[in-house]
Amino acid sequence: MEGLYTEFCFVIVEGSYADSIFKVTNMAMPPAESAELTHSIFGHINFWGGAQMETEVSLHDGFSTTY
């Protein structure tokens, strides 16, 4: 379980649940994926709350897209 785990980061955990307590035996970061893949699947979801804003994003390869 070594690593830098910050507040609000996504983690994958393994463990057992008993008596209303989840005991973690293993914790890791999710596998990396491209920004394009993430936005194509989850682009319509606002994970952090608040107002949904339309934003133009410039990608590393010179393309841009609007979310």
Q: Note the pLDDT tens digit of each residue in 34-51.
A: 888 888 888 778 777 776
Q: What is the pLDDT of residue 17?
A: 96
* pTM tops 0.85, yes or no: no
DSSP 32: P
Residues 6+ apart with CB under 8 A from 39: 65, 67
Structural domains in the chain (count):
1
44 inside domain:
yes
Task: Let me know if residue 37 belongs to a domain.
Answer: yes
Q: Which domain holds residue 36?
A: 12-66
Does residue 1 fall inside a structural domain?
A: no
Question: Average pLDDT of the chain?
Answer: 79
Nearest alpha-carbon partner for 32 in 2, 10, 50, 49: 10
In whole angstroms, what is the distance from residue 4 CA to residue 60 CA? Answer: 26
